[in-house]
Amino acid sequence: IVVLEIKQIFEYPEVLDDWIYTKINDRWKDHKFHVKKAAYKKWNTVEERLANPPHNVVESQWRVLVEVWNTDLKKQAICQINKENREKQKFHHTTGSKPHAKCAAE
């Protein structure tokens, strides 16, 4: 959408479309990083985070961001538990994609 708006305002060769898209994507990631650092990590609970949205983010969008970032934290916790469980395994699966029934028959 942003690329279409830029095309309406500026004249440039189509070769630059990928570069422009990459730059827009980089800036968006930077913006989310700074918003998360300044407004999300500042508070410890979901309630505090929702009660104190940053001035430059629409409140409905802030709620979605908080929900997504909280999901990420849950995923990280689950990943850490799974990593620890994998390290506890004594025997590793080494048959690849071969079915266990075929291995047993051989």
pTM: 0.60
In the predicted structure, residue 83 carries a pLDDT above the cut 90: yes
d(CA 67, CA 69): 6
Average pLDDT over residues 71-81: 86
> How confident is the model at residue 98, as a pLDDT?
83
Q: 27 in helix, strand or coil? A: helix
Average pLDDT over residues 83-88: 92
> How confident is the model at residue 90, as a pLDDT?
85
Return the domain boundaries, the chain.
Answer: 2-77
> How confident is the model at residue 92, as a pLDDT?
78
Dihedral sign for Cα 59, 61, 62, 67, please: positive
Burial of 49 (0-12, 13-18, 19+ CB in 10 A): buried
